[in-house]
Every structure is written in structure tokens, then in C-alpha cells.
Amino acid sequence: MVGTGGPVPTFSVWDYVVFAAIIVGAAAIGLFQAIRGRKETSSAEFLLGGRQMTAVPVAMSLTASFMSGITVIGTPGEAYGYGAAFWLFGFSYAIMSVITAELFVPLFYRLEITSAYEYLELRFNRVIRLIGTSMYIVQTALYTGLVIYAPALALNQITGLDLWGVLVATGAVCIVYCTLGGLKAVIWTDVLQMVIMLAGFVAVIARGAVLQGGLTRIWEDAGEGGRLKAFDFDPDPLKRHTFWSIVIGGSIMWVSIYSINQSQVQRYISCKTLGHAKMALYVNMVGLWTTVSLAVFSGLTMYSIYKNCDPLTNGDVKTSDQLLPYLVMDILGAYPGIPGLFVAAAYSGTLSTVSSSINALVAVTVEDFIFPVKKDLTQKQVSWMNMGLSVFFGGVCIGMAGVASAMGSVLQAALSIFGMISGPLLGLYFLGILFRTTNPTGGLVGLIVGLALTLWVGIGAQLYPPTPNKTLPLPVTTVGCNNTMDLNNTTATPWTSSAIPTTQPDFRPPLADTWYSLSYVYFSLFGVLITVGTGLLVSIITGGCKQEKMNSDLFVRRADLICFRGCSKSKESREMEKAPTDLHMGVDNKAFTETDMTIKESEISTKL
């Protein structure tokens, strides 16, 4: 009987067929893009899609890039164990979209860069650029390995799929369409994968509603179980999730992911116009809202079904990450092919993240390490180098998944990586774009100090996990289980915000309940504040920026901001905006304007 514990069905033949068909379809998109663009083999075409992408597919790709298998599997488990507070990240997504679209996208767009870290050399020096690029490569390789391993582990234990076979197959598929198709293949494959992910959530919610007697019943069960108490206004920074930690800390965390992360920046500058690039971010915001809402409601659906028999406490699953796959096999196992669709949804999230990471790693390696040294490469050599690096980084990510297999539970670690590394990097960018007094010495010292302190608190939190009075897991029960050892046992979910699912260490240093208990959502904000504060102080001490005149393109302009845009325009500029260029959503991508004009002139002369 559904919801009472015990063994669940395993994959059927049709489940394997559906799963394999979707994965093969993803690879086929890469092959199609390779064949379609076989005559366009330039580096710009491979890494930036020819800078001719439009807003909607780029927006869906932006959403899919970080809606990984961790999100598909982890977010419902989060809502099941801790309630709907995770939905408050919707506010963070909105704040992130405005900051990224109005501050960073215009900056990167007018500088016509390929690597986000080119800016660091233009503003500071080459040493800082290489440090920033190296931090990104380490962060992305480690995170991508965790992304591959985490859902593979959970799904292996639920469906019986061979763990290492799935790991290698996942990496191999991504390598194929990244190597052959470039960014266009990644973006269009992300579109397919985004649709599949949403379909997986909808299938879970729809079947759950049928079993429970409607969506209203699910909502009522969640309320009775304390899962709807999302708005906690306690300012305590040590509590895992509060309104303030998610909205303030979460906004900075997502800004660090979307504003300066190469895999995201690469998508903005692949758009044909600045208008398309900005529109992609705002459409992406709606995509993020939709995804997180469906994921959280899937978790509430899962609680409604298992409110009287928690599978984790009952021993039916070993980790919280296996709860959603267990639910799928429990309620949808009787429908051949549907569990296969869910598994494809989880792995679609993984594939989209891995493919985006591989393409971005190739871009920063070529632009930051190879081109400055080897400037005389032929186009054919560059194309082969791009494909070779895709294979290399795909292998590295698969290898990092192997390393992750020895690390125990890795989901919280994966979420914390961006805070510990991207936070200080974002602080360095803020030093560059907002403060003209910042010099290279201040930027370098600020980055090093910010990174050191953020790693200290982040690693300390993994070694000495916060106690339950800070993580606040919600109660669950096993009174309705068929095969429980203790039918009258009611317990709290044994999860904490730590990536290590072990008991609390016998020895806890004095910092464990203060410094190391800082909410992981605040890691990015902490890194930004330390980096900016230290960087400004050192810059002032060392004489500030001694350059007499600096390129104004390197800083945020008043005209970039919505609040100044309308009032700062002259009458002539407002008249120019009424021109037909508005139909193209803004000024054409500068890197291709001259080419487009040449083509148009040749077309006119031909007609004459």
C-alpha cells in the first residue's frame, strides 16, 4: 500500500526505454548542431554560438544550468524535512535578476569579452585574472563532479542502475554534444532538459493529488505538519533558514552564481543584442520561480503521502536524497515508462549542468591561458583544441565524481562551494566596478583574505555541523508503517545542514556553536563584505588608484541603471530610440555589427 513503507517496485523495461531514449535524444541535438554548423567552425561559433542566440532559449538554458540533479532530488527532500521556507528563494531570484541585468550584463556586453575573467585583467592586472580563472576552474570541476555523483548515487540505490555505468555514461553524453556542437548544442539541449525536468515534477504532483484526494488535501496536510511556516523573521544569522538569510544572503549567493560565473556570462554574451541578453535574465527569473515552486510542492506532496510513515526513519531509504526517487517508484511504479521519465528528469538536470560547465571551462582555458601565449593559431587548430579540451574536462569531471564517492553525502557541500569561492570573487568584481580608488594591491589582498576566512568558516561548518536547534528539522513519525520496529516512535528528521551525515563529534571547539554555525546561505555575503572591506582599506593605505585616467567602460554607469536611464537621456537620444532598431530589442552585438552591415550592403548591391 502506498505510503506505508516497505519495498517498492523497480525499473521495468519500458522505464529503461524511456530513459535511454531521452538521453540519446540529448546527444542527437549535439550531433544535429554539429552537422548544421559544420561550415562555421570559428571559436566564437563554438564558444558563443556565433553571438546570435535569442532570449527565450538562452533563458531556459540559464534556468537549466543550475537546476541540476541536486535541485531535482534535493529540493523536494528539503521541503519534506524542513518545510516550504526554501520557496522564499523566489525573492532572491528576483533581486539577483535585477542586479545582474542592470549592473553586470551591460558591463560585459560593451567590453565584448569571451571570458568573464578578462575584466579582472582590464581593471587590475593579469595576475589577478589568472587567480580568478584558477579559482573558477577548481570550483567548477569539483562542483560538477559532485553534481554527477550525487543523483547517480541516490538513483542507483533506488532503481538498481549501475552506479559507475551511469557516471561514465553521463559524462560521455555531455562530452559528445559539447565537443561536436559547442554552445548552441548546450543551449538547445538545455531547453529539452528543462521541459523534461518540469514534466517530472508535474507527474509526481498530479499522481499525489489523485492518491490524496486533491491539491487542497496536500496543502492541509502540509499545514498540519508545520511545513507551511516559511516566514521566520528571526535575525539570528546562525539559524539555517530564515526570511533574512534567504532573501539577503540568498540574493548575494545567486548574484555570485549568475553575474560572474562563466557558464552564465557565456550565455548573456551569446545573445544577438543587449536587449535579448537582459530579457533572457528576466525570463529566466520566471523559469526559476516555476521550477522552485514545483520542486517545493513535490516535497509537500511527498510529506502528505508519508506523514504517517517516514521512509528514512523506517529504514526504507538511507539518505534524504533518496526520498523523491523512492516516492516515484512507490506511486508511479505501476505506470510503465513514467519512472523512467522521472529518472530522465533528474539526469536532465545533471546533464545540463555538466554540459554548461564543460563548455565554460573550455572558454576560460582558451581565452585566459592559451590565447595570450599562442596568438598565431589557425582556425582549424583552435577548433581541434576546443574539442580536445571538451574531452579533457569531461574526463576531469567524471574523475571528480569518483573522488566524491569517498566523501559521503555531498549535497550540502555542493551548495556551499559557490558561497565559499564565488563570494570573495564577487567582492573583487564589486571592488572593480563600483570603486575607482581600488588598486591591484587592494584587490589581491582583499580576495586572499576574503577567500581564507570564507574557507575557514565553510570547512569548519562541515567538520562541526550545526546542532538541530539551529537547523530546525521538522518532526516526522512512523506510526503508520507496516514493517516498523517501533510503531509508537515519533522522531525528528535526522538531517542537518552538514554535508557529513555522521553524529555530532564528541569534541566541539568553542567556535563550533558560533563561528562554524553561520548559515551556509550567508557564506557568499560574508565573503563579499570581507573582500570589499579589506580591498578598500588596503587600497587607501597603498595610495589608491594612481592611474590618471581610467577607461569609463570598466565601471558601472548611471545610464546602466533603470532609475537613471529615463531622466539622463537627451531629447536627441530619446528620438533615436524611436527608430526601427527597437524591433531588434536593442543595439546589435558589437562583435558582429560590422559583419552584419557588410552582409546587408552586399545584399543591396546584388539586388541593384
pLDDT range class, residue 66, cuts 50, 70, 90: low
Structural domain contains residue 134: yes
d(CA 85, CA 519) in angstroms, rounded, equals 14
> What integer pLDDT is reported at residue 98 of this predicted model?
92
Query: Which DSSP state fits 379?
Result: H
> What integer pLDDT is reported at residue 88 of this predicted model?
93
Share of the chain above pLDDT 90, in %: 22
- State the burial class of residue 70 (Cβ atoms within 10 Å of its Cβ: 0-12, 13-18, 19+): buried
What is the pLDDT averaged over residues 313-337? 84
Q: Does residue 35 have a pLDDT over 50?
A: yes
Q: Does residue 150 have a pLDDT over 60?
A: yes
Are residues 361 and 416 part of one domain? yes
- State the burial class of residue 545 (Cβ atoms within 10 Å of its Cβ: 0-12, 13-18, 19+): middle
> What integer pLDDT is reported at residue 502 of this predicted model?
41
Structural domain contains residue 470: yes
Between 54 and 493, name the one with better pLDDT: 54
Which among 295, 247, 224, 255 is positioned nearest to 99, based on CA atoms? 255
pLDDT range class, residue 483, cuts 50, 70, 90: low
Q: Does residue 297 have a pLDDT over 70?
A: yes
> What integer pLDDT is reported at residue 68 of this predicted model?
65
Structural domain contains residue 1: no
Share of the chain above pLDDT 70, in %: 71
Please say whether the beta carbons of 242 and 89 come within 8 A. Answer: no
Q: pLDDT digit string (tens) for 269-287?
A: 777 788 888 888 898 888 8
- State the burial class of residue 552 (Cβ atoms within 10 Å of its Cβ: 0-12, 13-18, 19+): exposed
Q: pLDDT digit string (tens) for 225-248?
A: 999 988 889 999 989 889 999 999
What is the pLDDT averaged over residues 569-591? 42
> What integer pLDDT is reported at residue 89 of this predicted model?
92
Which among 68, 70, 87 is positioned nearest to 296, based on CA atoms? 87
Are residues 124 and 134 part of one domain? yes
- How much is the mean pLDDT over the chain? 76
pTM of the complete model: 0.80
Lowest mean pLDDT among 195-199, 439-443, 497-501, 552-556: 497-501
Q: Does residue 572 have a pLDDT over 60?
A: no
Are residues 574 and 553 part of one domain? no
Q: What is the 3-state secondary structure (H, E, C) of 22-91?
A: HHHHHHHHHHHHHHHCCCCCCHHHHHHHHHCECHHHHHHHHHHHHCCHHHHHHHHHHHHHHCHHHHHHHH
Q: What letters, b where the CB count within 10 A reaches 16 and e where it falls short, cover 428-449?
A: bbbbbbebeebbbbbbbbbbeb
CA atoms within 13 A on the CB side of 600: 6
Are residues 601 and 482 part of one domain? no
Structural domain contains residue 132: yes
Instruction: Supply the CATH number for residue 177's domain.
Output: 1.20.1730.10
Are residues 445 and 593 part of one domain? no
Q: Does residue 584 have a pLDDT over 50?
A: no
Are residues 448 and 377 part of one domain? yes
Q: pLDDT digit string (tens) for 341-363?
A: 777 767 766 766 677 677 778 87
Are residues 576 and 518 part of one domain? no
User: Total structural domains in the chain?
Assistant: 2
Are residues 87 and 52 part of one domain? yes
pLDDT range class, residue 323, cuts 50, 70, 90: confident
d(CA 139, CA 596) in angstroms, rounded, equals 38
Q: Does residue 571 have a pLDDT over 60?
A: no
Are residues 459 and 322 part of one domain? yes
Between 331 and 74, name the one with better pLDDT: 331
Residue 500 corresponds to which cell in the numbers above? 557529513
> What integer pLDDT is reported at residue 423 of this predicted model?
92
Pairing of strands 490-492, 475-477: antiparallel
> What integer pLDDT is reported at residue 245 of this predicted model?
92
Q: Which residues contact 587 (CB under 8 A, 6 or more apart)?
A: 273, 274, 275, 581, 593
Angle at Cα 577 formed by Cα 576 and Cα 580, nearest 5°? 90
Are residues 417 and 365 part of one domain? yes
Please say whether the beta carbons of 278 and 594 come within 8 A. Answer: no
Structural domain contains residue 215: yes
Are residues 402 and 486 part of one domain? yes
d(CA 391, CA 218) in angstroms, rounded, equals 46
Are residues 576 and 474 part of one domain? no
d(CA 157, CA 22) in angstroms, rounded, equals 21
> What integer pLDDT is reported at residue 251 of this predicted model?
94
Structural domain that includes position 252: 13-568
DSSP conformation letters of 519-537: -GGGHHHHHHHHHHHHHHH
Structural domain contains residue 8: no
Structural domain contains residue 2: no
* Three-state DSSP state, 384: helix
What is the pLDDT averaged over residues 37-57? 50
> What integer pLDDT is reported at residue 177 of this predicted model?
57
User: Which spans in 311-410 are helix H?
Assistant: 323-332, 338-365, 379-404
| Matching residue, cell 550540502 | 412
Structural domain contains residue 5: no
Q: pLDDT digit string (tens) for 155-173?
A: 676 667 677 777 777 667 6
